[in-house]
Structure 1
Amino acid sequence: MEKLNANVAIERGLTTADAANRPIKLVQFGEGNFLRAFVDWIVQQLNNNGLFNGNVAIVQPLPTGRVAELEQQDRLYTVILEGLKDGKEVQSREVIDSVGLTVDPYADFDAYLALADDPNVQIIVSNTTEAGIALSDEDAADARPAKSYPGKLAQLLKRRFDNGLPGFLIVPCELIADNGVALKQCLKETSEKFGYGEDFVAWLENENTFVSTLVDRIVPGFPRDNADALWDELGYRDDNMVKAEPFLLWAVAGSKEAQAKVNELLPARKLGIDLVTADAVQPYRERKVYLLNGPHTTMAQVARLAGFATVGEVMNDPTMRSFIVREMHEDIIPVLTLPEDELNAFADAVCERYANPFVRHALDSIGLNSVSKFAARLMPVVHANVDAGKGLPPRITLALAALLATYGGLTDVEVRINDSDDVVAAIRNAAQDRASFVTTVLSDASLWGEDLTAVEGLAEAVEADVKAIEDGGIKPLIEALA
């Protein structure tokens, strides 16, 4: 079978000879599955519709990576979208021809710096993992390249400054809060360490636009389980193909001027792509954590005790699905800050993502580190409800009771527990004294980061639910709240 490359793609009408010659307008640090199925996919849609007319230069940020593999296919690869959108199944395959250049700075540092010489380049995007936006003691101005991502980017920006060229729109996608602010601070500290001088720091501050982002798209990556079948379907071998869900959100926050620049350079909203510009990312981060991740955590506790193994099974069961939908609309949405219609639309999209027939999402995997996840994803919702005078959210209270019943060994249902030994031991030990079990566990701030017995009525409600689970199982409690 032929391997995907420029000749194969041109012969089959999957690309054009001109595509590779678009000017480089975006430099991307990171060649992993996520960026290729997210940022590069968006650029492809813009190019398809004459709204960008530019290509991406991918920089490999680590000594090992896959730019060589991308070059073997002339930087072409296939994005496979599978899932539900607006109630309909989506199965699409598209060759991405918007990567015009790859650079390995460890192999050719001069080629890396030369990216700063191109006046067409206007945007820098990165996803170097959560640990990527951090300084390194090993960074040095004369390193080829610097070890850290901020060190490498500082070297590139210094070359740009020395050329007297305009700065960039800098768009980090790393999954940390205020990633744009964090990257900018790292660059300032690196510039001081490298001795780049006050004029450069002023240029960095005034001539570059930093934004903070939140990205959301499930990208399973290379479809190993059915790669051969997909190659047969496509009619070519693609070792760089990447699978993703149809849903996508790119929330980008900054000043009004920054938002205008994002919409000018990346006009994805014109195509109905959910690239949202806002004053702050936090409301979108809350929406994702509480409306996507929160019900996941509830499922991992409640649904497993009822005999369910996957998210798809939960969503295909009318009672369990109703329970989760009511949690979203009655327990969570009323205490979030975004407009209700926007939250309702997001909740509908989340339900479609949960029900994706092409993904088997095991509740056991979601149940990893359930205690810390409950504290981060669901306790803020409990507090928000109580503070607003709405009382305790009953489905979240039941999820907490299910967690305690499972970890405490108070149920005959076999549920896999995958948490730290200290957490499991603390709860199991507390369960030895059943009378004080719930209050002992909830008052342990080392587990939750706070004393949960301070939340009015919570200990009593959890105790009642734990006893009901012991006496009659969890299914009657689910049915009462569905």
Structure 2
Amino acid sequence: MPANRLMLPRTSRPATGIVHLGLGAFFRAFGCVYVADAMQAAGGDWGIVGVSLRSPDTRDALKPQDWAYTSVTLTPDGPQTRVIDVLNDVLVAPEDPQAVLDAMCDPGVRIVSLTVTEKGYCHNPATGALNMGHPDILYDLTHNLPRSAPGYLVRALQQRHAAGIAPFTVLTCDNLPHNGALVRGVVLDMARRIDPALADWIAENGRFPATMVDRITPATTDEDIKTVETLTGLHDAAPVMHEPFRQWAVQDDFVNGDRPDLAAAGAQLVDDVAAFEDMKLRMLNGTHSALAYLGYLAGHETISDTVADPAFAAYVRHCWEEIMPAVAAPPGVDLTDYADALFDRYANPAIRHRTWQIAMDGSQKLPQRLLGTLRANLDAGRDSPALCLAVAGWMRYVAGKDEAGQPIDVRDPLADLMRDTATDSATGTVAALLSLDQIFPADLAAQLAAPVSLAAATLWAKGASSAVQEVTQ
């Protein structure tokens, strides 16, 4: 172990007020920073216990550092570092699920937050309903020690109810439309199947505020760890790298109004997050996915590499022209200015956000990032050739071979099904993948068949670079 490992001598620390499920790089670069700023500005006991739902890697990296780590802001003028020390512990759920439930049932814990990605909610992306065929859900319905994020929420709330402890606020921080309502629905559905009285108690007393979160956070690499050691003179095994921009819009609806002073940290506390959420999901996440699939197929490693290509720079702006008529701007926001700011963020050469990373779990992301906009445009009689090309790009990507015939490492819960469903032809692949009702509602699939087939024919015949040029002419 390096002698100069990052370590903060802490004689005291805030009591734990938050348990966070899914402690990955994003929440450490985003939520932990906001909470640190909120406590610095307004005090309060809002220390965080993180929970890794799968791997011990984050716990093992942070424990020798007493849970502190370096937050690195990647600006075009150079990196800026800051040590974040709001974590009190990191638990690994598969090793000791009871310890996780015990932490969630501590009366001092008033918030359980989540960044478990779209697939972590074990729902059907096309409908938002709890996926009753999911093996973890089937397990959690009959076992007190759960495996899934919804299972942990329900079983912890069940124990709090039995002990006469108020419920915690469930604060989802994942990119899902109406994310608060979605996780509430999933939790109530599972709770009702376990104990209808429990579901009634949660429905009456629980709170599930909606949120919109935004900060581009690439996966940390070994090279990043070396860079941080050079910058600080200390070895940090788990730094987080992120862009300067951050935005957190939060519906101000917490159990007993109990929360950190997030507004003091720069968050927007609002009555309705929907407009912020819709704008971000469609304009940022939608174009991020479009650039990821088509950029990857064109041989671009990162988003900044992709938009440095003039053809893709024109393409993403054309996507925004198709998206903006389907977006109601939040108060005080000009969508054209928002798109310009997004482009500048994408083009930041210091952010090495890999197209392959963004392309993960597309079957879970497509409905909210692209399909909602496509449906709105179809309903309004507007054509969407650039967005249809993005869907075709996703189809070519998940079919599992790139334009040179080399295999693609597709990371997706439906990867095997999609690869086996795809055919060797553009037309056959479009028809086959549109038939997957886990992703495409039947009525929308029928409307998309012709325009996506047209885009796919160009993509398969001419490749991604030529296809994006044609769609912008």
Name the TM-score, length of structure 1 as normaliser: 0.70
Identity within the alignment, %: 22
Pick closer, same or farther for the CA change 1:220–1:110 going to 2, 3 Å.
closer
Q: Is the contact between residue 388 and residue 452 of structure 2 (CA under 8 Å) also seen in structure 1?
A: no
Query: Which residue is equivalent to 1:331?
Result: 322
Match of 2:304 in 1: 312
Amino acid at match of 1:350: L
**What amino acid maps onto 2:194 in structure 1?**
T
Counterpart contact for 2:59–2:92, Cα < 8 Å: yes
Find the counterpart in structure 2 of residue 235 from structure 1: 233
- Aligned equivalent of 1:34: 26
Equivalence map 1:270-309=2 (5 Å)? 270-273=264-267, 275=268, 277-279=270-272, 281=274, 283-299=275-291
User: Which of 105-114 and 122-131 deviates more?
Assistant: 105-114
Q: CA deviation at 1:317?
A: 4.6
Report the equivalent of 1:437.
none
Match of 2:185 in 1: 181
The 8 Å contact of residues 78 and 96 in structure 1, kept in 2 or not, is answered as: yes
Structure 1 residue 96: Cα displacement? 1.4
Listed one character per residue, the Cα deviations across residues 34-60 of structure 1 (whole Å, up to 9, x for unaligned) are 332232222111122234443112345
Q: Secondary structure at the match of 1:71?
A: helix
C-alpha distance in structure 2 between counterparts of 1:396 and 1:475, whole Å: 11
1:71 to 2:69 alignment: no
> Counterpart of 1:243 in structure 2: which amino acid?
M
Distance 1:62 1:136, change over 3 A: farther
Letter in 2 for 1:180: R
2:109 corresponds to which of 113, 121, 127: 121
> What is aligned with 1:195?
none
Instruction: Work out the CA distance in 1 between the residues paired with 2:322 and 2:343.
Output: 16
Aligned partner of 1:137 among 122, 139, 149: 139
Mapped to 2, the partners of 1:42 and 1:463 lie a distance apart of 43
CA distance in 2, matches of 1:234, 1:61: 31
Residue number in structure 2 paired with 1:435? none
Give 1:333 shift. Answer: 0.6
Give the secondary structure class of the aligned counterpart of 2:23: coil
* CA–CA separation in structure 2 for the residues paired with 1:237 and 1:69: 11
In structure 1, stretches of 5+ residues that fail to align are 11-15, 193-197, 431-439
- The CA distance in 1 between the partners of 2:385 and 2:51, in whole Å, is 49
Following the alignment from structure 2 to structure 1, what is the Cα–Cα distance between the partners of residues 278 and 238?
A: 33
Q: Could you tell me which amino acid in structure 2 is paired with residue 34 of structure 1?
A: F
Residue in 2 that maps onto 1:267? 261
Distance in 2 separating the partners of 1:97 and 1:414: 47
Q: Is the 8 A contact 2:19 2:113 kept in 1?
A: yes
* Matches for 1:288-437 after TM superposition, within 5 Å: 288-299=280-291, 310-317=302-309, 320-328=312-320, 330-339=321-330, 341=333, 343-361=335-353, 377-378=369-370, 380-389=372-381, 391-393=382-384, 395-396=386-387, 418=408, 420-421=418-419, 424-425=422-423, 427-428=425-426
Q: Deviations over 1:428-448 (max 9, x none)?
A: 576xxxxxxxxx967995387
Match of 1:9 in 2: 8
Q: Supply the AA of the counterpart residue of 2:262.
A: A
Q: State the Cα deviation string for residues 72-110 of structure 1 (Å, max 9, x = none).
A: 221212222224xxxx65622221111224456755947
3-state SS of the aligned residue for 2:83? strand
Deviation at 1:232, TM superposition (A): 2.8
1:133-282 to 2 correspondences below 5 Å: 135-137=137-139, 143=144, 145-173=145-173, 177=179, 178-191=182-195, 198=197, 203-253=201-251, 258=253, 265-273=259-267, 275=268, 277-279=270-272, 281=274
Q: Report the AA paired with residue 207 of structure 1.
A: N
| Correspondence 1:46-57 to 2 at 5 A | 46-57=38-49
Provide, for residues 6-40 of structure 1, a one-character-per-residue CA deviation record: whole Å limited to 9, x for no partner: xx434xxxxx533x2x2222222333333322322
Asked if the contact 1:122–1:167 (Cα under 8 Å) also holds between the matched residues in 2, the reply is yes
What secondary structure sits across from 1:233 in the alignment? helix
- Cα contact 2:281–2:369 (8 A) shared by 1: yes
Change beyond 3 A, Cα 1:67–1:140: farther
Residues 428, 369 of structure 1: CA spacing in aligned structure 2 closer, same or farther, 3 A cutoff? farther
d(CA) in 2 for partners of 1:376 and 1:44?
Answer: 31
Post-superposition offset of 1:235: 1.6
Per-residue CA deviations over 1:171-224 (Å, capped at 9, x if unaligned) read: 1345555123312432343345xxxxx4x6554343332334454433334331
1:23 pairs, out of 15, 27, 30, with 15
Relative to the length of structure 2, the TM-score reads 0.71
Paired residue secondary structure (2:105): helix
CA 1:415–1:450 in structure 2 vs 1: closer, same or farther (change >3 Å)?
farther
Between the aligned partners of 2:150 and 2:394, the Cα distance in structure 1 is: 41
Alignment partners' CA distance in 1, 2:392 and 2:164: 62
Relative to structure 1, the CA distance from residue 226 to residue 64 in structure 2 (aligned partners, 3 Å threshold; closer, same or farther) is: closer
How many residues align? The count is 437
**Which deviates the most, 105-114 or 338-347?**
105-114
**Corresponding letter in the other structure for 2:342:** V
CA–CA separation in structure 1 for the residues paired with 2:47 and 2:394 = 49
Please identify the structure whose Cα radius of gyration is greater. 1
Q: 1:224 to 1:153 in 2, by over 3 A?
A: same
- SS across alignment from 1:137: helix
Deviation at 1:279, TM superposition (A): 3.4
Once residues 137 and 404 of structure 1 are traced to their aligned partners in structure 2, the CA distance between those partners, rounded to angstroms, is 32
Letter of the aligned partner of 1:78 in structure 2?
A: T
- 1:43 paired with 2:35, answer yes
Where do 5+ consecutive residues of structure 2 fail to align?
123-135, 411-417
CA contact (8 A) 1:180 1:212 kept: no
The amino acid that maps onto 2:383 is L
Per the alignment, in what secondary structure is the counterpart of residue 247 of structure 1?
A: coil
